[in-house]
Structure 1
Amino acid sequence: MTVTADQNDAPRPTTHVHLRLLATSDLHMHLLPYDYHADAPSDAVGLSRVASLIAEARAEVPGALLLDNGDFLQGTPLGDHAAAQAASAGGHPMIGAMNALGYDAVTLGNHEFDFGLEVLEAALADARFPVVSANALRRRGAAPLEDVGLVLPRVILKRRLSDGAGHLHDIRIGVLGVLPPQVVHWDRERLEGRIEVRCMIDAARAHVAALCDEGADVVILLAHCGPSDRPVQAGMENALVPLAGIEGVDALVAGHVHRLIPGPHFTGLPGLDAEAGRVQGKPVVMPGIAGSHLGVLDLWLAPDAEGWRPAAAHTALRPIARRGAHGPEPLVEDAPEVVAEVAKAHAATLASMRRPIGRSEIALHSFTSFAAPCPVIHAINAAQRWYVTQALGPVAEPVLAAAAPFKTGGPSGAEAFTNIAAGTLSYRDLSALYPFPNTLRAIRVTGAELRDWLERAAAAFNRIVPGAANQALLNPAFPGYDFDVIAGIEWQLDLSCPALWSHDGLPLGPGPGRVRGLRHGGEAVEDDDRFIVATNSYRIGGTGLYAPLAEAEVVLSEQIQNREVLARYLAQKASFDGPVAECWRFAPMDGATVHFDSGRGVLHHLPGIRAEGGEAMEPAGLTTDGFQRLRLTI
């Protein structure tokens, strides 16, 4: 069902010109309706499906602009394959598909940099459309307009559009883009000393003014960020609200956080009316993730003494699928030009990822990562601890490992869970276990820092009333990929106490915290104890929930991806073995019942989860958006 929001449904004066903007964001290399991690078709994703919606929307309103808001080059094994083949004569499949669809402009997201500058520049070399970013820089100048950009900072696109009376007018549309400056920390080893990134707000303010001075009638900001309730500050990651407040910005495309606008997310956030598709009163769309939706933003422009100004706006999201009784049901067919463009790379990716790499004696799934011992985290941590122990040799401190589940449903949908059967493993399975090209790090921390690490992860949960029934377990704002579990220690979480930290790392006030009985080897962990923890480059990047980890001493920093660590572990050990370590559990809550949403495949695993010592857990029906709800007694 199309989600729409309209500021003014009244008939338009004949002097008005209709400008339509079509937007994608966070495609993450989902070019086809295919789930590479499951090695099966998926009707929930795919630019080839969005392309059919693009064709329909273009047919309705002549002269529409097609824009992308970033994070298009990374996210699937197809993206990994394309990065490995970056210098090949065939070109990058995503850029080829964008060329075929006639994109008018795109901006960069933070994940464009995950494979390094050489891969990014090789991919963009074949683009037949402008790539803009106002704050990704080769060299910072004294002021934003003096910066040397990595790509174009801004562009003016031209359209000849008719008004209601049939008269043609030349319209100049300014387009610029910005991305989170934290990318230089997240990808430090690839980018340090090679690029700089300016504050999004400062860069946008300067380049919006420049576009207006250059004669743009309308200014569109491709903001690769979401909204936030944090105070406005320089360098903030999710700056959508202050960006919309910049004078001269007429409409925005948002992304990065993988939610939907217009839609029910972000209710009550100051400056944002997400249901109405308005931020600071200006129209905005955020079209989800992986090609789930096409954003459609219509502007009606009225003439004035200086040119044109937006007089009314309409925002909408058009989905590629609807929820059915047995999963997503397609609403559109594939666009053949995208399928043809991707066919060769798709076939090569499937052949590569189906190669065997080892075995797992246990099923590797993330269905109950927030409520019971998680096999995915168990496997990742086993490999990380093994590798760091081998690399460092004898050390005085115990070696631990931290990992989070990457696929836990949430805004990505009811199919977004890891589910790998016991038996032979392929390279596809390693990609499903660890979908990001992070690199391994090991840091030295104290017992106090270890406790703080766990307290921050405990922000995943709502406060629970002991003995009360039917309470929501999970904080919906908390990203699943931030729920770190640290192997090699044991602890309990007392959810009767409030969290010490918000989902994005803001302090919530003093209190006893939630971590109880933190022990190593049966002994209580003291504040001045010291440990070495295997983790990844993204986690110690210096921003977000785990910002303090950037200050820790790095004792191992190798240019080896965490996924390759899994491969080497299997080459040495041959298999992932059980039982799954029960590192943590909830402190007793007088029989309180809570619920959380999982994938439907969880029902196959529930008996085994109970046998491993998890709390009493039972199915509680399907939600309207296709999740399997589970009820847990604590």
Structure 2
Amino acid sequence: MRQLTILISLITFILLSTPCSASKWDVIILTTSGLNGQLVPFSEKSELNNGNMLRTFGGFARIQTVFESYRQKFPNKTITIATGDDLMGESIQDDQGKVVLDAMNRMGFDISTLGNHEFDRGSNILAKYLANKNFPTIVSNLIINPGSRLLKYIKPYTVIERGLVRIGFMGLILPELTMISNPGTTTSVNHDLLEVARLTARKLVNEEHADIVVLLSHISIDDQKLILESIPEINIICGGQTHKDIFPGQEVIARDGPTTGLMVQGGARGRFVGVLKLRIDDGHLENHEWTIIPITNSIQPNKETFDFIKAHMTKKLSTAMLTISTKPLDTEVKSIRIQDEPAGKIISKILMDKFKTDIAFQNSGGIRGNKIIPAGPIYASDIDTMLPFGNTVTIIKITGEELKQVLERSVQNLPESSGAYLQTAGVQYTLDLNGTPQTLNITKQGKVISIKTHGSRISNIKIHDKSGNYIPIVNDKMYSIATNSFLASGGDGYITLKNSKQKVETFIKMSEVIKSGLSKMNSITYGNEISTFNLNGDPFFTVSQSPDK
């Protein structure tokens, strides 16, 4: 964060204030990563004033201003790219991303790849989205069955020319796609990232005569580094999956041979626009300059796009107040994916009470926003932000023995964060991180087929009974669970839930259940002590119930 503060202090929209030699550079790549449907600016705390100062970042209309400024300064040299996870968030609740797409078309993006969240609503919805894009979509390691509508809109690679330079573009999506999203039965992923990257890059160089090759990545940082170190034909990787900020001076990846590789990435949700200037000489990358532009209040938004987004936000985002929380609710990734958080417990508790089940749980990766909702009113739009995927509620029955396997899956990756970590209600357990973590049998296409190692991290499981006590589970007893349709179908690797024979789909939208539950409460609060794995009894929350609700 110190680097970020220095950058913001020194770069007051550097592209507008610093004269540049346009002739020095042949290609200017403007990159965004994980826009997350963040149409409007957002605020987050900085390290200044003991972390109490809020700074405002992002906004599509401001990003467009940056794009247009570079296009004016470097005519016929710029390429604007998006690296996936752009189609998500509260702005796409009801229109399957039409507004996000329309805004990106207005901004003049040249090319993009896909992230896992583009598939959250299924391949058919994604195909409708892609059909109206004004710019190509490339993913090199997707396996799309014949007859799928996606075949028409997703290509493995393409070439863009700027002046005399031919730039080859390819894309990679993370191998876990089928586990953590909803691509359906017609789409899978080739897990051999190195082989796909090598073959595609060589095709771009040898057959398409690309001068340089750029990989648009929605894979891990480690996989990106391995690819750059192993495949000299790939010059640049523009990342998007990890939300990692790569500051100037951190972009060069050393490798054997005469060339270096470049790995760049801007901030998620439009916090930065990455600017990569390239000098190409006789078909070789000779020089570069990497800068990140903070998208702050110093940048005037493009008026047309600003007005377009404003009209949508006024129409779509509900400002109805549901209830009041006496304490902040944390939905930040760094917190909610490693431990129980009140924001997640509220969701599970409302599900359990509404459907009168023994237990309820919600995967932390399905709780979005990545922010702290301050104490005070909770609005309908807050819930739309937290639960943007349109999942419905499913009731499942499993045995106590199967419940243990579900909980083992939840803690498999700890102490590392994981979207599979469950926010639960109605259950307590003891965790031993020294125990054996659960492992899964996964096909090369990313499909989970069975549990490989059952795991031994979870013990002392207790269920909250009707008398208010926690009692040990019985292995062969059936327990009812309320959860979301994504987990019920095996999402995040929950093969035990997928295989359950006792499953009822309610077709009730989960976000509406949570809004309804909150609207029946005057206020909510929670205890000061949050034990990561053992809560001091349910109900965890103190609810002030209105007699009129």
Counterpart residue type for residue 349 of structure 2: A
Query: Alignment partner for residue 358 of structure 2, among 387, 391, 399?
Result: 399
**Residue 302 of structure 1: aligned partner:** 281
Residue 251 of structure 1 and its aligned partner are, at CA, apart by 0.9
Counterpart residue type for residue 102 of structure 1: G
**Residue 233 of structure 1: aligned partner:** none
Counterpart residue type for residue 225 of structure 1: I
What's the % identity of the aligned pairs? 21
**Residue 208 of structure 1: aligned partner:** 201
2:395–2:503 contact (8 Å) kept in structure 1 = yes
Unaligned runs of 5+ in 2: 1-5, 11-22, 45-53, 443-450, 535-539, 543-549
Counterpart residue type for residue 271 of structure 2: S
Residue 194 of structure 1 and its aligned partner are, at CA, apart by 4.3
2:479 is the alignment partner of 1:531:
yes
Counterpart residue type for residue 94 of structure 1: V
Q: How does 1:175-194 map to 2 (within 5 A)?
A: 175-188=169-182, 191-194=183-186
**Residue 418 of structure 1: aligned partner:** 373
**Aligned partner of residue 155 in structure 2, secondary structure:** coil
2:162 is the alignment partner of 1:159:
yes
- Separation in 2 of the partners of 1:408 and 1:187? 14
- Separation in 2 of the partners of 1:21 and 1:247? 20
- Structure 1 residues 542 and 226: CA distance shift in structure 2, 3 A: farther
2:339–2:533 contact (8 Å) kept in structure 1 = no
CA displacement, residues 545-582 of structure 1 (integer Å, 9 cap, x when unaligned): 756655555613354432133245468xx338767599
Residue 156 of structure 1 and its aligned partner are, at CA, apart by 1.1
**Residue 332 of structure 1: aligned partner:** 299
**Residue 385 of structure 1: aligned partner:** 352
2:168 is the alignment partner of 1:174:
yes
- Structure 1 residues 35 and 194: CA distance shift in structure 2, 3 A: farther
- Structure 1 residues 222 and 542: CA distance shift in structure 2, 3 A: farther
**Residue 164 of structure 1: aligned partner:** none
**Residue 30 of structure 1: aligned partner:** 38
Counterpart residue type for residue 245 of structure 2: L
1:490–1:517 contact (8 Å) kept in structure 2 = yes
CA displacement, residues 266-315 of structure 1 (integer Å, 9 cap, x when unaligned): xxxxxxxx934438652111222100111222333231xxxx12234443
2:61 is the alignment partner of 1:48:
yes
2:137–2:153 contact (8 Å) kept in structure 1 = no
Counterpart residue type for residue 531 of structure 2: R
1:185–1:542 contact (8 Å) kept in structure 2 = yes
CA displacement, residues 207-244 of structure 1 (integer Å, 9 cap, x when unaligned): 3333221221111111112224xxxxxxxxxx434443
- Structure 1 residues 208 and 42: CA distance shift in structure 2, 3 A: same
**Residue 235 of structure 2: aligned partner:** 250
Unaligned runs of 5+ in 1: 5-14, 87-91, 142-146, 161-169, 229-238, 264-273, 322-329, 390-397, 462-474, 589-609, 613-634
**Residue 275 of structure 1: aligned partner:** 250
Q: How does 1:325-364 map to 2 (within 5 A)?
A: 330-350=297-317, 353-355=318-320, 358-359=322-323
- Structure 1 residues 499 and 66: CA distance shift in structure 2, 3 A: farther
- Structure 1 residues 243 and 533: CA distance shift in structure 2, 3 A: farther
2:269 is the alignment partner of 1:290:
yes
- Separation in 1 of the partners of 2:64 and 2:384? 27
**Residue 607 of structure 1: aligned partner:** none
- Separation in 2 of the partners of 1:248 and 1:354? 51
Residue 119 of structure 1 and its aligned partner are, at CA, apart by 3.8
2:279–2:287 contact (8 Å) kept in structure 1 = yes
Q: How many residues align?
A: 485
Counterpart residue type for residue 30 of structure 1: Q
Counterpart residue type for residue 338 of structure 1: T
- Separation in 2 of the partners of 1:47 and 1:94? 9
- Structure 1 residues 583 and 186: CA distance shift in structure 2, 3 A: farther
1:157–1:173 contact (8 Å) kept in structure 2 = yes
- Structure 1 residues 198 and 567: CA distance shift in structure 2, 3 A: same
1:140–1:196 contact (8 Å) kept in structure 2 = no
**Aligned partner of residue 265 in structure 2, secondary structure:** strand
**Aligned partner of residue 385 in structure 1, secondary structure:** helix
Of 248-257 and 450-459, more deviation after overlay is shown by: 450-459
**Aligned partner of residue 283 in structure 1, secondary structure:** strand
Residue 339 of structure 1 and its aligned partner are, at CA, apart by 0.9
**Aligned partner of residue 437 in structure 1, secondary structure:** coil
**Aligned partner of residue 115 in structure 1, secondary structure:** coil
- Structure 1 residues 226 and 153: CA distance shift in structure 2, 3 A: same
Counterpart residue type for residue 339 of structure 1: F
2:28 is the alignment partner of 1:20:
yes
- Structure 1 residues 127 and 56: CA distance shift in structure 2, 3 A: same
- Structure 1 residues 547 and 611: CA distance shift in structure 2, 3 A: closer
1:24–1:68 contact (8 Å) kept in structure 2 = yes
Residue 69 of structure 1 and its aligned partner are, at CA, apart by 0.8
Query: Alignment partner for residue 436 of structure 1, among 361, 365, 389?
Result: 389
Counterpart residue type for residue 428 of structure 1: S
Residue 380 of structure 1 and its aligned partner are, at CA, apart by 1.0
- Separation in 2 of the partners of 1:504 and 1:57? 48
More helix as a share of residues: 2
2:338–2:417 contact (8 Å) kept in structure 1 = no
Residue 27 of structure 1 and its aligned partner are, at CA, apart by 0.3
CA displacement, residues 396-455 of structure 1 (integer Å, 9 cap, x when unaligned): xx621112556999xx87xx1234635xx5421321442333333344444344345445
**Residue 83 of structure 2: aligned partner:** 69
Residue 30 of structure 1 and its aligned partner are, at CA, apart by 1.1
Counterpart residue type for residue 131 of structure 1: T
**Residue 484 of structure 1: aligned partner:** 422
**Residue 291 of structure 2: aligned partner:** 316
**Aligned partner of residue 54 in structure 1, secondary structure:** helix
1:135–1:198 contact (8 Å) kept in structure 2 = yes
Q: TM-score, length-normalised on structure 1? A: 0.64
- Structure 1 residues 194 and 582: CA distance shift in structure 2, 3 A: farther
**Aligned partner of residue 382 in structure 2, secondary structure:** helix
Cα RMSD of the aligned pairs, angstroms, is: 4.5
Counterpart residue type for residue 256 of structure 1: Q
1:82–1:345 contact (8 Å) kept in structure 2 = no
2:140–2:157 contact (8 Å) kept in structure 1 = yes
- Structure 1 residues 379 and 447: CA distance shift in structure 2, 3 A: same
Residue 179 of structure 1 and its aligned partner are, at CA, apart by 2.0
**Residue 403 of structure 2: aligned partner:** 450
- Separation in 2 of the partners of 1:548 and 1:483? 15
- Structure 1 residues 260 and 197: CA distance shift in structure 2, 3 A: same
- Structure 1 residues 240 and 544: CA distance shift in structure 2, 3 A: farther
Residue 106 of structure 1 and its aligned partner are, at CA, apart by 1.4
- Structure 1 residues 374 and 198: CA distance shift in structure 2, 3 A: closer
- Structure 1 residues 123 and 576: CA distance shift in structure 2, 3 A: farther
- Structure 1 residues 408 and 80: CA distance shift in structure 2, 3 A: closer
Q: How does 1:27-176 map to 2 (within 5 A)?
A: 27-34=35-42, 43-58=56-71, 61-62=74-75, 63-75=77-89, 77-83=90-96, 92-136=98-142, 138-139=144-145, 148=151, 150-160=153-163, 170-176=164-170
CA displacement, residues 60-116 of structure 1 (integer Å, 9 cap, x when unaligned): 6551211111111211x2222432xx7xxxxx3333332333221112222222334
2:334 is the alignment partner of 1:376:
no
Residue 28 of structure 1 and its aligned partner are, at CA, apart by 1.0
1:408–1:417 contact (8 Å) kept in structure 2 = no
- Structure 1 residues 419 and 65: CA distance shift in structure 2, 3 A: same
- Separation in 2 of the partners of 1:242 and 1:298? 24
